[in-house]
Amino acid sequence: MKISARNMIKGKVKAITQGAVNTEVVVELPGGTEVVSIITKTSADSLGLSQGKEVYAVIKASNVMLAVD
């Protein structure tokens, strides 16, 4: 697999919550940190996602915003 995104982290699917249109996927990274992704139900089905399956969390953003109180 080749991809232009520089932030690609391997993890395992911890939980899947399917809705009518979108699916929430919780990915557990090494060390226990979790990343949550909302993807279309069609994409989740196409990827064959299931609990325990190894996946890559691919993060590509033009902006990263920070805030403080």
Rounded to an integer, what distance in angstroms lies between the CA atom of residue 16 and that of residue 11? 14
Global pTM?
A: 0.83
Q: Rounded CA gap, 16 and 36, in Å?
A: 10
DSSP assigned state of 29: P
pLDDT of residue 22: 96
Note the CATH architecture for domain 7-59.
Answer: Beta Barrel (2.40)
Query: What is the distance in angstroms between the CA of the first residue and the CA of the last residue of the chain?
Result: 41
- Tens-place pLDDT, residues 1-60: 788 877 889 999 999 999 999 999 999 999 999 999 999 999 999 999 999 999 999 988
